Amino acid sequence: MLFWTLYFTLITAIILPATQAHRKLTPDYYDDMCPQALPTIRVMVETVVGIQPRMGASLVRLHFHDCFAKGCDGSVLLDDSPTMVGEKTAAPNNNSLRGFELVDEIKATLNVACFGNVVSCADILAIAARDSVVALGGSSYEVLLGRRDSTCASKAEANSNIPSPFSNLTEMLSKFQAHNLSAEDLVLLSGAHTLGFAKCKTLRNRIYNETSTIDPDFARSLKAKCHRAAGGSDDEELSPLDETPAAFDAGYYQMLTQRKGMLHTDQELFKGDGSEIDRLVKRYAEDAGAFKEGFGEAMVRLGSIKPLTGREGEVRENCRVVNRR
Ligand code: HEM
Ligand SMILES: *[C@@H]1O[C@H](CO)[C@@H](O)[C@H](O)[C@H]1NC(C)=O
Ligand SMILES: *[C@@H]1O[C@H](CO)[C@@H](O)[C@H](O)[C@H]1NC(C)=O
Ligand SMILES: *[C@@H]1O[C@H](CO)[C@@H](O)[C@H](O)[C@H]1NC(C)=O
Ligand SMILES: *[C@@H]1O[C@H](CO)[C@@H](O)[C@H](O)[C@H]1NC(C)=O
């Protein structure tokens, strides 16, 4: 009896996990393999974000764009190569995603701190996103770990899965639903726009054409920065996505309730029609604590999209290229 109990314990505890392709993500994944991993990432993110707060925004966005194309597998970090087209030049990413050099630095530092290639690029993105949120005043949350890195990318999925800033609510809901994310997840995760900046080219149509859904004074001030004609030097001009782009607060939702959403897609979440979505926006506008709490939970769901685990994929030595084999 004792023998069989021990025998089955051994099988399930040691042999099965090692042979299983599919394993669950866990918060303590690196605790034994590299206890320095999480503190190392946190210090590096805190240091850079302290000097350059926008980098925190850029890291949060990188994790989102990684997860929406092929799952959270580091695919967004792969450079184009002679044999593979990466995701970096997909429409939502090209000339817009930032933070790749910092991710490289974190990865190189971890390869030393962990005495080898231990921490996946996909996990670095998940941890760096959380550390950025915390560094800018959001609430902390436990990040699930154990993702492995993909050996390919999908520009097509980046183009089709990541919503464009000109989408309507129905389209956004369906792109989130495709990843098992709810309407509430859409509202909460869009709250990431409490951080960071957007370029004139994503704002023009809203500020010049959407007169019925934008506060007129707000539109006027944006027009001063973004001229009507596209293609000028102001195309790349940046405007903050809320009034406090370096503070993780409820300002984003407050702006939506005042018809001061920056992107068309932001204002789609509040139309003043008393819908379920409207009521969620109102709730988070009034309760920053509820937003911060809910955001962490929604980030865990975002970070759980189709991870590679166990023996799937690989741990990339360099986040920009697949390992040589
Ligand atoms: C729901 C649909 C979404 C759309 C249409 C959208 C679109 C955009 C656009 C157009 C920009 C500005 C890019 C530029 O001008 O270069 C932006 C910035 C940003 N987005 Fe989103 N986004 C969405 C959801 C999200 C989500 C879910 C997150 C994260 C959880 C996120 C995080 C960010 C951040 C932090 C920035 C600022 C980045 C920076 O300053 O570098 N967005 N987004
Ligand atoms: C990406 O952006 C650069 C710089 O704006 C541009 O020259 C290039 O054509 C774009 N690539 C794609 C695939 O859109
Ligand atoms: C949303 O956009 C889709 C695709 O462009 C369109 O078919 C649909 O009618 C739009 N829905 C609403 C409610 O405007
Ligand atoms: C979404 O959830 C359903 C039911 O819980 C599950 O069967 C399905 O695999 C999930 N899809 C994704 C993309 O995670
Ligand atoms: C406003 O809408 C018109 C008609 O759809 C379009 O041609 C024009 O480019 C838009 N203006 C801006 C500034 O986007």
Number of domains in the chain: 2
Instruction: Name the residue with the closest Cα to ligand 5, atom 11.
Output: 205
Q: How far is the CA of 310 from the centre of ligand 1 (A)?
A: 31
- Look at residue 17 in the predicted model and tell me its pLDDT: 46
Question: Contact, 213 vs 271, CB < 8 A?
Answer: yes
Residue 147 sits in the same domain as residue 212: no
Residue 186 sits in the same domain as residue 285: yes
Residue 185, SS3 per DSSP = helix
* Range with the poorest average pLDDT among 8-22, 28-42, 45-59, 251-265: 8-22
Residue 158 sits in the same domain as residue 180: no
Average pLDDT along the chain: 94
Percent of the chain whose predicted confidence (pLDDT) is above 70: 93
Residue 183 sits in the same domain as residue 296: yes
Instruction: Name the residue with the closest Cα to ligand 4, atom 8.
Output: 180
Which residues is 321 bridged to in the sheet?
318
Answer yes or no: is pLDDT of 52 > 50. yes
Residue 143 sits in the same domain as residue 213: no
Residue 154 sits in the same domain as residue 188: no
Answer yes or no: is pLDDT of 1 > 70. no
Residues with beta carbon inside 6 Å of ligand 2?
Answer: 89, 94-95
| pTM listed for this prediction | 0.94
DSSP conformation letters of 33-71: T-TTHHHHHHHHHHHHHHH-THHHHHHHHHHHHHHHTTS
231, part of any domain: yes
Residue 148 sits in the same domain as residue 225: no
DSSP-derived secondary structure letter, 283: H
263, part of any domain: yes
Task: Print the domain residue range for 79.
Answer: 37-162
Residue 199 sits in the same domain as residue 95: no
Distance CA 254, CA 266 (A): 12
CA-closest candidate to residue 68, choices 132, 160, 193, 150: 160
Residue 64 sits in the same domain as residue 150: yes
Active site residue 264: no
276, part of any domain: yes
Phi, psi of 138 (to 5 degrees): -80, 175
Atom of ligand 1 nearest to the CA of 61: 32
Mean pLDDT throughout 64-68? 98
Confidence band of 6 (pLDDT split at 50, 70, 90): very low
Conformation bin of residue 270: beta by default, left when phi > 0, alpha when psi is -120 to 50 = beta
On the 0-12 / 13-18 / 19+ scale of CB atoms within 10 A, 96 is: middle
Residue 200 sits in the same domain as residue 96: no
Answer yes or no: is pLDDT of 177 > 60. yes
204, part of any domain: yes
Which-ligand-closest: CA of 54? 1
